[in-house]
Amino acid sequence: MSVTPMMAQYLAIKAEAPEALLFYRMGDFYELFFDDAVAASAALDIALTKRGQHLGQDIAMCGVPVHSAENYLMTLIRKSFRVAVAEQLESPEDAKKRGYKSIVARGIVRLVTPGTLTEDTLLDARAHNYLAAWCEVRGKGALAWADISTGAFHVAECPRVRLGPDLARLGVAEVVLGENSGVEGIVEEQGAAVTPLGRSAFDSGSAEGRLKALFDVGSLDAFGTFSRAELGAMGALVEYVELTQRGKLPLMRPPRREATSELMAIDGATRRNLELTRGAGGGRDGSLLWAIDRTVTAGGGRLLERRLSAPSTVEAVIKARLDAVSWAVTNDAMGNDIRSRLQHAPDMDRALSRLSLDRGGPRDLAAVRGGLEAGEALFSYLSETDLPLDISDMIGQDALLSLLSAALATEPPLLLRDGGVIAPGYDADLDEARKLRDEGRGVIAALQAEYAKATGITSLKVKHNNVLGYFIEATATHADKMRADERFIHRQTTANQVRFTTVELSELETKILNAGGRAQSIEDRIFAELCARVLTASNAIFGVARTLAELDVATALADLARGESWTRPRVDSSRAFDIDAGRHPVVERALKRDGAPFVANDTRLTAENGAAIRLLTGPNMAGKSTWLRQNALIAVLSQMGSFVPADAAHIGIVSQLFSRVGASDDLARGRSTFMVEMVETAAILNQADERSFVILDEIGRGTATYDGLSIAWATMEHLHDVNRCRALFATHYHEMTALSGKLSGVENATVAVREWDGEVIFLHEVRDGAADRSYGVQVAKLAGLPEAVVARARDVLQALEEGERAGGANPRALIDDLPLFSATPAPAPAPKAKSAAEDRLRDVLPDELTPKEALDLLYELKRLADG
């Protein structure tokens, strides 16, 4: 069976991207065939149909409308598909010129992958979408990453051991790796898509040439000195972008070499435990970012997330950021005014990227115009103030701004083909074409009046038919007069009428008939000229966008500080860690929403020469984990350049942050809950140094009591003697409180509780000292365990405690004597009888009591209680 020309074309294009679903453009639809159609129909929940046969088999088919394709692309990308988009490269009319049966030429114009998205509908406006490439040369690794939707491009040294933490910090969507790199598991563990690329793409020699061509420079020295691994990673990333964009490279800024030693190191487990940018459900809700983000621009939101994900360890950088926030706190009226002005600042970074890829529209140009206007206005407003930010980048584009203001319509349409993009009065030819398109009849009427006046023939008419087109008609009695005027050219004579034309009328006819197309053509040309002008000034526009984002972050953090009564931390190069009345920002926000107060606590963890560890004991539900986490979050907030939820804070710069909190398994990798706990603990003990800050919660709880106690004990000693770090260590093993007398850097702390009539009351207050017991049975009762289970637990606990006091008798023998193991199970305890005082109170209506009656009732209740 022969293959139709269209199907032959489809199969040839599909062979270019066998690993991707092929969106094959046919008119107003993208069609999918064969296995692609089966997979897409299931993923998108759309109908699967058939279209003819191929090699004796029915051809499966499904399709999506072009105008709503982005929604379907988003679904497919989120389900880990890659999509190749094949567009029509010519019109059907042009195809017919090559032969009546010729089919429209088509070709892949882009590959849509998780790391190469640019459309607003496919991206989170307040988060970066990074594509990364990792390269290793002779044992030295490097990571390059870029957000092609904003043009950001970075590179850093990245040995294999740092790859996981760096990917977690960046939240990378897709990672390009060489064949047999051996790090695929690390990438997948961070939730990023893995894309293999040939080894030649990572060659540092060819990579250097590729980068020079991209940035049109003769040498990369102006951008920094790069290692072979760094060049290889950057070159592979650029080659992959070129591959997916089919040779149309996006606008990318020169690579910025990042020193990871200047950033607080936070591994993936710690980020998850502390919920820095993602909450327990995987989204922003419940995260620290959710609690602090008050930015009003997309660029500001992305900058805030970057700073939160990578707090600085450079004292001068931290101080500069805090100075900017302090200025906005002090000048609150100006800060609020800046925020109000910024609300109208569009996302210039992503607009520029789309324009550079020919995916931009009129509103992207309008976004550039709006951003430049916002920059000019804010510079004028702030230039005479003592704002500690360099805002000089916001000016200097007067010519471009004037051009865009004059050329662009006030509110341009979404699509260029809709027309009305260019403002009236900017281009005379365009105005004329529009007038002819929109007011053709009026123009003809004006010309008719002009001819009638010139000839003195009031009955002269300009008419139109399908044979002659536009013509001038007069009665036969006026024919000689018309012929005497050289302007009029005879066309036709009828019984009673004579018809003429003029060169002017013929030209006008052509213009009217072609006015719509001509107007669109002129708008297309002017739009392309404006895009080229904007892209020429891209570096300056990026500078405006960067400054607007910095202003947004500073004023947003100031608004947060004022609204939540946060204070400026003191951050220096010491090993201090002193916090007065610290609070957990996320928990406090949740409690405030419910109208409940948050109990603030102090932390004293300053270390002079050696370790400083607080060993925390107390019952579950008392707030131990909250206290541990809030101190880690205060360190992160301080070093990202934010005020903190405390009355005062002195933080010596933390180089590494480690958290081992919570219980989870990793069954897909064959790890039990206890195994995950031990792996994370091992990472801490192997990496933490004296400038690290560590929080550990319930180490050793996933195994037998004595095993767990032994592991926790040895871990504490290692933290103290070897790591010599600042740490908070929560435990249920009360035996460990003895370490405070053996290790000079360890002090005991406990979360205070009170017990009343068998009930436990949590005070959420951290005090010096050790807990007397765990109150586990009381917490079990609060959780809703049946009363019989709670009562039985009390009996077992009492027997064990009495046996221990009696000399450590065999616990099993003690329990065997309890009724649980007798032939008849212990009956459920009888319900507690109500007291006479409770019966009397049941009948009281407090609102109806006089003060005298209330006092008498109080004495009566006292007598009843005393019996």
Verify that 559 and 572 share a domain, yes or no.
no
CA-CA distance, 590 to 203, in Å (whole number)? 52
State the pLDDT confidence band at 828, using cuts at 50, 70 and 90: low
Look at residue 830 and tell me whether its pLDDT is greater than 60: no
Across the range 451-457, mean pLDDT stands at 91
For position 508, what pLDDT does the model report? 86
What Cα–Cα distance (Å) separates residue 743 from each residue in 27, 262, 601, 767?
77, 32, 24, 19
User: Are both 348 and 495 inside the same structural domain?
Assistant: no
CA angle 670, 676, 678 (to 5 degrees): 125
Residue 450 φ then ψ, to 5°: -65, -45
Same domain, 628 and 726: yes
Structure pTM? 0.82
Contact 38, 48 (CB under 8 A): yes
Residues 620 and 719 in one domain: yes
Cα separation, 371 vs 754, in Å, equals 58
> The domain spanning residue 157 has which CATH number?
3.30.420.110
Q: Which of 275-284, 334-343, 593-602 ranks highest by mean pLDDT?
A: 334-343
If pLDDT is split at 50, 70 and 90, which confidence band does 832 have?
A: low
Same domain, 559 and 519: no
Last residue of a domain, one of 93, 112, 131: 112
* Shared domain check, 390 and 309: yes
Closest CA to 592 of 584, 601, 582: 584
Assess whether 647 and 667 both reside in one domain. yes
Query: Does the pLDDT at position 675 exceed 90?
Result: no
Indicate whether 103 and 17 sit together in one domain. yes
List CB contacts of 89: < 8 A, sequence separation 6 or more. Answer: 104, 105, 106, 107
CA dist., res. 567 & res. 564, Å (int): 9
Task: Tell me the per-residue pLDDT of 191-248, one tens digit each, with 9 for 90 and over.
Answer: 899 999 998 999 999 999 999 999 999 999 889 899 999 999 999 999 999 999 987 8
| pLDDT higher than 60, residue 820 | no
| Pairing status of strand 174-178 against strand 152-157 | unpaired
The sheet with strand 140-147 has its strands ordered as 193-197, 174-178, 131-137, 140-147, 152-157, 256-257
Same domain membership, residue 450 and residue 366: no
Phi first, then psi, for residue 554 (nearest 5°) are: -60, -45
Nearest to 632 by CA among 593, 673, 579: 579
Q: How confident is the model at residue 823 (pLDDT cuts 50, 70, 90)?
A: very low
Same domain, 723 and 607: yes
Task: Kindly state whether residue 239 falls inside one of the protein's structural domains.
Answer: yes
In a shared domain, residues 79 and 178: no
- Split at pLDDT 50, 70, 90, the class of 727 is very high
Numbered residues of the known binding site: 618-625
Question: What is the rounded average pLDDT of the residues 487-506?
Answer: 90
Q: What's the mean pLDDT in 338-356?
A: 94
Q: Is residue 11 part of a domain?
A: yes
Three-class secondary structure of residue 55 per DSSP: coil
Residue 421 inside a domain? The answer is: no
Please give the pLDDT value at position 824: 46
Whether 815 has a pLDDT exceeding 80, the answer reads: no
Q: Is residue 17 part of a domain?
A: yes
Q: Is residue 430 part of a domain?
A: no
Domain that holds residue 857: 836-866
Q: Could you give the residue ranges of the DSSP H alpha helices within 611-723?
A: 624-640, 673-687, 705-718
Where would I find the H helices in 190-249? 204-215, 228-244
Select from 112, 136, 169 the last residue of a domain.
112
Mean pLDDT of the region 426-441: 87
189 has a pLDDT exceeding 60: yes
Mean pLDDT lowest among 11-25, 43-57, 438-452, 811-825? 811-825
Q: Which residues are annotated as a binding site for ATP?
A: 618-625
Contact 443, 435 (CB under 8 A): yes
Domain CATH code at residue 479: 1.10.1420.10
Domain count of the fold of the chain? 7
Say if residues 646 and 798 touch (Cβ distance below 8 Å).
Answer: no
CA nearest to 63, candidates 81, 84, 49: 49
Residue type at position 761? I
**Average pLDDT for residues 176-200, to the nearest whole number?**
91
Q: Is residue 144 included in any domain, yes or no?
A: yes
Predicted confidence band of residue 783 (pLDDT cuts 50, 70, 90): low
Mean pLDDT, the chain, rounded, equals 88
In a domain, 140, yes or no: yes
Phi-psi domain of 192 (left: phi exceeds 0; alpha: psi -120 through 50; beta: other): beta
> What's the pLDDT tens digit per position in 460-482?
999 988 788 889 999 988 988 88
Judge whether 426 lies within some domain. Answer: no
What order of strands is seen across the sheet that includes strand 461-465? Answer: 461-465, 469-475, 497-501, 489-493
How high is the pLDDT of residue 489?
A: 93
Lowest mean pLDDT among 468-482, 492-506, 832-846: 832-846
For residues 802 and 743, membership in a common domain is answered with: no
